[in-house]
Amino acid sequence: MRQNTDTHPLSPVPYLKEGLLSTLPSPAEVKSGWPWTTETQPFASLMPDGRPWPKVSIVTPSYNQGKFLEETIRSVLLQNYPNLEYIIMDGGSTDNSPEIIRKYEKYISCWVSEKDDGQTDAIYRGFQKADGEIIAWINSDDFYLPAAFYCAITSFSGQTSRELLIGSSYHMDVNGHYIKKYYGFPQKFMSLLVSGMHFCQPACFWHKKIFFELGGFDRNLRFCFDYEMFLRFLKIGAAAYTRHPIAVFRWHESSKSSTIPEVAAKENGVVKARFGLENDLSLPKLIGDDEKADKANLFWLLQRVPEELSFKQLGANARLQVETPFPPPVFCPCGEAGKHPDRGYDGPGQEHFHRRQFGDREGFNPYCACSYRNRPGCNDRSAVDRLYRKP
């Protein structure tokens, strides 16, 4: 099935000065809040200096994620951005995804539903269709937060020499419960190579021209193609950043992040080796001397400071509310940090991930050191209720 693929240039997403919310189709289920009954305040049709807003092109790769797709689509359209292209590249879904896409068809610049060679291929072909100066992709199980595009564009305009923008984002589970906040930081090539990606792709935007000049994606990678691309971006200059939350990354049992972790680990090693970091012993040689190595590792620690400071503030079971910032989780009730039976101690800031990935929905952490050693504490539900403040 192919739809609306031959028109060029692509039609922009409709813009109304009063906003699109009242014109969009009703959601399949009765829901409230963002992006169901609220919208971003519409942009002025022109920038304050009278110039048009830079064209933004968003690509959504989709395959059998009908459960989440409508939320993704609405989170793009209800940005109410006046110079927007929206492209959906569906891989021939057999669920209700094509039906949802057709429901919003008149608001979408281009959509395709046909077999492809995977997520990387779909995104790349979407970018080839795009005319935007600034591009990004949002997966069909993730979504943008209110005013995401305004934040991205104004951040770019305030840091004009940058080709890549790294924003902050939230990590949530399938039920809308908060897991973690990822912060936008002033990344440089060495910090990204040494510490890995401690930010989320859905909160990133970049210039289309430099994307293709640098060769686009390595389409042989299934998982770490974004990490490899960001490293090439940072090879030519630092990234712009914003602490403002731009997007939500959703973890669920059928998401790629949870179904092929072994592929992620293998590709991560391949990418690091490609840029000269084959193992820890190669670090000093790679960056010159031990002093620089210490600085690189210190930078990694500094990235974690805001997370660790806020880690103690409020409880783990805060329901996702996109209108206001919401808090990171606290440590396990026994006070121990997280352990994983295969990877061992993961360090502060990771136990919340194990609690959500492997624990129950009330915050129990089976890989906390105390329960891993069969010590009492974590299994005490009253202790959990006392220590995890309810929102």
pLDDT in tens, 312-358: 332 333 333 333 333 333 333 444 444 333 333 333 333 333 333 33
User: Would residue 168 count as lying in a domain?
Assistant: yes
Q: Do 183 and 311 fall into the same domain? A: yes
Q: Do 23 and 81 fall into the same domain? A: yes
Sign of the four-CA dihedral 71, 95, 107, 81: positive
Q: How far apart are CA 343 and CA 3, in angstroms?
A: 46
User: pTM (2 decimals)?
Assistant: 0.74
User: Would residue 50 count as lying in a domain?
Assistant: yes
Please tell me the least confidently modeled range out of 187-191, 195-199, 254-258, 291-295.
291-295
Q: Which pLDDT belongs to residue 196?
A: 86
Q: Which pLDDT belongs to residue 92?
A: 95
Q: Do 252 and 367 fall into the same domain? A: no
Element (H, E) at 283: helix 283-287
Name the residue range of residue 366's domain: 339-387
Q: Do 265 and 318 fall into the same domain? A: yes
Q: Do 227 and 275 fall into the same domain? A: yes
CA 52 to chain centre: 27
CA distances from 376 to 66, 336, 365, 366, 369 (A): 42, 12, 12, 12, 11
Q: Which pLDDT belongs to residue 337?
A: 40
- Quick one: average pLDDT of 79-86? 97
pLDDT in tens, 247-281: 999 986 665 554 567 788 889 999 999 998 876 54
- 324 burial level (CB within 10 Å; 0-12, 13-18, 19+): exposed
Whether pLDDT at 217 is above 50: yes
Q: Do 162 and 172 fall into the same domain? A: yes
pLDDT in tens, 26-81: 998 889 999 999 999 998 999 888 999 999 999 999 999 999 999 999 999 999 99
Which region, left, alpha or beta, applies to residue 145 given φ > 0 means left and ψ of -120 to 50 means alpha? beta
